[in-house]
Structures are given as C-alpha cells and as structure tokens.
C-alpha cells in the first residue's frame, strides 16, 4: 500500500502543495493527465457536432433549428444531471462513473449513425449528454480536489481537454465525412473515443483525505467556511454568478453549434484561407483553431485568475468576448477575419469552465466543492435552451447579425455583473465570516 505524506514546510510545487505519493495513480499530475485524456475524448460530442448539421440536413431535409434541438437536449442532459453525478463521484470515486460515461458516449454516436428520425437523434443526444456529464463533472471535481493551491490552473488544464480535444480530430473527422459520409464516421469514432475513455478511467481515483492547509491569496478572497449545497442555493451571490454564467454560455454555445451554418450563410465555408503557413478551407480552419484556442485559454486564464483574482479575470475576458462576437457579426463575411475572430472568441470564452469551478470553491468552501460547482454548471443547460433561438432569429432577419449582436451584449452585461456586483458582495461576505470567526464565544 502506498504511503501518503504531506510536503515539508518551505517546499511547495503544483503537485506537492497537495500530496506526495509513491503510488503511480496517486500522483496529482498523473490524475490530471488521465482526466485531461478523458475530457479530450468526449469533446467531439459538443464541439464536433456543428460539422454534422449540414450533412444531416442534406440527407433528410429537416429544418436546421429542428436538428439543433438535439444539441440543446445534449447540453441539458449533460448539465442538469451533474449535481447528482457529482454526488455519486464523491461517494464511489471517479473510476466507475467515468467508465459508465465511456459506454454512453459511444452509444450516443452509434445511435446518431443509425438514426432516421429526429426523435432518434434526440434520444442519442440525451444519452450522450448523460455520458459526457459523467466524464466532465467527475474529472473537473477530481482535479479541484487534488490541487488545492492552484485550483484555477488545475481546473483550466482539465477543462482544456474538453476545449481543445476536438482540435485533434477535426481534420480526421472532416476527411472521413468527405470519404465515408457522416454515418460511417460517427460509428467509427464512437468506438475509438469510447474505448480511450474507458481505458483512461482505470487510472482515476479519489485523493487521500490528508491535505495541506491552503495558502491565502488576498486577490482570491478564499473562505475557510464550507457551505452545504442547500446553503449555497440560498445564497444571493450564487444566483448572480449563475446569471453571469448563463449570459456568457449562451454566446459561446450558439457560436459552437451554429458555426458551420454561420459560415455557410456568409458563403465562405469552403473558401481557402492561408494562415500560419497552412491553406485550409475557412470552416475547417476555424474549427481546428477554435478548439485549440479554447483549450489554450482555459488553463491560461485559470492561472491568471490564481494571480489577480477570479472576478477581475472574468471581467476582462467577458469584455473581450463581447468585442469578438460583435466583430464576427460585422466582419465574418471575410474568410480570414472569420477564422481570426472566431479563434479569439473561443480563446476567451472557455475560461468560464476553469474559473467558475475555482471561484465556487473559493467562496463556498472545498468540502462540497464538486456538488456546489455542479449546481452552478447547470447554468450551461439553461443557456442551451437559447441555442435554437439563434437559428430562428437568423431565419427571420435573413442574416446572423442580430443573433450575434445579442450574444455580444450578453457578454458585456456579464462582465459588469462580475466586477460591479459579485466582487463587492464576496468582499463583504468574506469579511463578515472572518469577523464572526474572531468574535469571542458567549
């Protein structure tokens, strides 16, 4: 049996600030790597969906908005069951939950590959959402528990797997679509992705209970008080954070799901673009670069938030995202601009999935960190309800400008919520808790 011991005072690193272990799977970095692998293999279920929308439409002539309800259902089932899944992961450990998720994500794309009705697609989306939620929620929660000192970085690296994982397979997917069609492509990648997640899950485990005390950073406003999930839900601050999460997630999910139709609407989806020494059709280039930027942004801004604070980082990135989405609406008809501005959008959007887990743990404590963040993560499901609305607005107005303008405004509102309301509320609440802790007992 491996022995676990705390690091000696004065010696710290990203891993040793939590635990030092002689057992291979008990090393924090090993857990992080396998968590990232699992996240990368489920990324296509969300970020690869857009390249299948047009082939499905071409085959069955269903309205795009009707097809996109599969994406909405996927995100709803991915997010709304995460609190329950987080509870199961806390009780049974990450390994069995991720193994079940591996089976379900493979089943999702197998169903897609055989579906001939919209209802069958919707069924596959629901199953895929459950499977992805099992993997996503479990791996994020596990990362936050293993790395206490650098929660933003750890959550960011794990979430980066989900953001950048699709970049590894966009080109093989698009080539397979061209040569074999979407049905054969879905079936083949279902088996590959499901198998990799199942094997990686074997290495995952809970961290031992012995941990070091967290070092204080005044920019983070970290509390030592653990709020239960019910206490968290009764907090007004939680619901302000929830609203900001929804506002930002709406724009990102809309661009994620609608990028191919947007490019088609601009008539630049197949136009070759030359950047960084590569010449690739605009849509394929954008998809690959978007996923890469999404993955880079999550750990980078998570790390930045560890230094300057969560709210300040979110304020800056939300403003930049609003500018990027507005630029996509105005300049997206130019193929080069489309690729660059879409990449900027995804660079700053994905940090909600690295900073909000850390922010939740900072304010509501670490004991119930997985479940409390899972409750906040359901905001992504609320945001998904607005994704089909983007297609409806574009259809009625004849362009994507209004849809993207609304998304940009939502980002700006969220930015000022973080710096104007969330930060002051947290400061007052943390000071109140500190004063209560120092007050003499009666």
The structure tokens listed for 430 are 């943390």
- Other residues' Cβ atoms within 10 Å of the Cβ of residue 216: 10
* Distance, C-alpha 290 to centroid of its chain: 14
> Is residue 182 domain-resident?
yes
Q: Tally the domains of the chain.
A: 1
Q: How confident is the model at residue 7 (pLDDT cuts 50, 70, 90)?
A: very low
Give the global pTM.
Answer: 0.75
The alpha carbon torsion through 76, 68, 172, 159 (nearest 10 deg) reads -30
Ranges 220-229, 311-320, 327-336, 391-400, most confident: 311-320
Phi, psi of 279 (to 5 degrees): -120, 110
The answer to whether residue 436 scores a pLDDT higher than 90 is no
Report pLDDT for 165. 75
> Is residue 409 domain-resident?
yes
CATH of the domain at 289: 1.20.1250.20
- Helix-then-strand count for the chain, H and E: 19, 4
Q: How confident is the model at residue 276 (pLDDT cuts 50, 70, 90)?
A: confident
What's the alpha-carbon Rg for the chain, to the nearest Å? 21
Q: Which of 291, 279, 280, 281 is nearest to 255 (CA)?
A: 291
Place of tokens 């574009």: 394
Report pLDDT for 72. 85
Q: How confident is the model at residue 96 (pLDDT cuts 50, 70, 90)?
A: very high
> Is residue 218 domain-resident?
no
Report pLDDT for 196. 95
All residues at 6 or more sequence positions from 172 whose CB lies less than 8 Å from its CB, including other chains: none
Average pLDDT of the residues in 125-146: 89
Q: Is 3 left (phi over 0), alpha (psi -120 to 50) or beta?
A: beta
The structure tokens listed for 241 are 């954070």
Q: Which of 266, 305, 313 is nearest to 419 (CA)?
A: 313
Report pLDDT for 206. 82
Report pLDDT for 1. 33
Report pLDDT for 213. 46
DSSP, collapsed to helix, strand or coil, labels residue 287 as helix
The structure tokens listed for 260 are 């191919």
Average pLDDT of the residues in 408-432: 92
Average pLDDT of the residues in 377-384: 87
The answer to whether residue 302 scores a pLDDT higher than 80 is yes
Average pLDDT of the residues in 177-192: 92
pLDDT digits (tens, 9 = 90+) for 394-414: 888 888 888 889 899 999 999
The answer to whether residue 306 scores a pLDDT higher than 80 is yes
Say if residues 64 and 57 touch (Cβ distance below 8 Å).
yes
Report pLDDT for 420. 95
Tell me what percent of the residues of the chain surpass a pLDDT of 70: 90
> Is residue 216 domain-resident?
no
The structure tokens listed for 326 are 């507005």
Say if residues 38 and 135 touch (Cβ distance below 8 Å).
yes
Report pLDDT for 16. 38
Q: How confident is the model at residue 359 (pLDDT cuts 50, 70, 90)?
A: very high
Q: How confident is the model at residue 369 (pLDDT cuts 50, 70, 90)?
A: confident
Ranges 6-20, 76-90, 350-364, most confident: 350-364
The answer to whether residue 439 scores a pLDDT higher than 80 is no
> Is residue 221 domain-resident?
no
Report pLDDT for 194. 95
Report pLDDT for 216. 58
> Is residue 346 domain-resident?
yes
> Is residue 423 domain-resident?
yes
Say if residues 159 and 300 touch (Cβ distance below 8 Å).
no
Report pLDDT for 5. 33
Distance CA 6, CA 423 (A): 33
Distance CA 177, CA 189 (A): 11
The answer to whether residue 111 scores a pLDDT higher than 90 is yes
pLDDT digits (tens, 9 = 90+) for 29-61: 889 999 999 999 998 898 788 889 889 998 999
> Is residue 2 domain-resident?
no
Average pLDDT of the residues in 240-260: 89
Q: How confident is the model at residue 197 (pLDDT cuts 50, 70, 90)?
A: very high
The answer to whether residue 329 scores a pLDDT higher than 80 is yes
Q: How confident is the model at residue 370 (pLDDT cuts 50, 70, 90)?
A: confident
Ranges 224-238, 253-267, 269-283, 305-319, most confident: 305-319
Domain that holds residue 426: 17-209+226-438
User: Got the DSSP string for 206-244?
Assistant: PPPS--PPPPP-TTT---SPPPPHHHHHT-HHHHHHHHH
The answer to whether residue 441 scores a pLDDT higher than 60 is no
């Amino acid at each position: 049996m491996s022995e676990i011991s705390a690091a000696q005072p004065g010696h710290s690193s990203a891993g040793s600030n939590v635990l030092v272990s002689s057992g291979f799977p008990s090393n924090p970095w090993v857990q992080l790597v396998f968590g990232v692998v699992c996240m990368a293999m489920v990324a296509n279920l969300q970020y690869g969906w857009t390249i299948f929308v047009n082939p499905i439409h071409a085959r069955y002539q269903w309205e795009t908005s009707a097809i996109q309800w599969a994406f909405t259902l996927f995100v709803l089932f991915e997010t709304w069951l995460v609190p329950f899944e987080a509870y199961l992961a806390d009780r049974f450990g990450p390994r069995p939950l991720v193994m079940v998720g591996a089976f379900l994500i493979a089943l999702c794309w197998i169903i897609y590959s055989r579906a001939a009705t919209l209802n069958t697609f919707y069924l596959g989306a629901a199953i895929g959402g459950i499977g992805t939620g099992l993997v996503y929620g479990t791996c994020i929660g596990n990362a936050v528990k293993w790395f206490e000192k650098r929660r933003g970085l750890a959550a960011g690296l794990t979430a980066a797997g989900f953001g950048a994982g699709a970049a590894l397979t966009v080109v093989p997917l698009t080539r397979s679509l061209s040569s074999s069609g979407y049905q054969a492509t879905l079936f083949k990648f279902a088996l590959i992705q499901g198998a990799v997640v199942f094997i990686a899950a074997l290495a995952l485990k809970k961290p031992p209970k012995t941990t070091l005390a967290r070092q204080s950073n005044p920019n983070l406003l970290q509390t030592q008080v653990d709020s239960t999930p019910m206490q968290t839900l009764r907090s007004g601050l939680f619901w302000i954070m929830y609203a900001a999460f929804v506002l930002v997630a709406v724009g990102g999910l809309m661009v994620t799901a609608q990028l191919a139709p947007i490019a088609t609407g601009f008539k630049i989806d197949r136009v070759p673009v030359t950047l960084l020494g590569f010449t690739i059709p605009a849509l394929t280039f954008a998809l690959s670069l978007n996923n890469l930027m999404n993955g880079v942004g999550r750990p980078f801004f998570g790390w930045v938030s560890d230094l300057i604070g969560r709210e300040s980082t979110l304020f800056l990135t939300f403003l930049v995202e609003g500018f990027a989405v507005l630029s996509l609406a105005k300049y997206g008809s130019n193929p080069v601009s489309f690729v660059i501005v879409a990449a900027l959008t995804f660079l700053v959007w994905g940090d909600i999935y690295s900073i909000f887990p850390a922010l939740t743990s900072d304010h509501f404590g670490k004991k119930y960190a997985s479940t409390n963040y899972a409750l906040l993560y359901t905001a992504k499901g609320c945001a998904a309800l607005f994704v089909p609305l983007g297609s409806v607005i574009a259809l009625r107005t004849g362009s994507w400008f209004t849809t993207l303008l609304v998304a940009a405004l939502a980002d700006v509102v969220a930015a000022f919520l973080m710096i104007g309301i969330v930060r002051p509320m947290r400061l007052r609440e943390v000071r109140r808790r500190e004063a209560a802790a120092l007050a003499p007992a009666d």
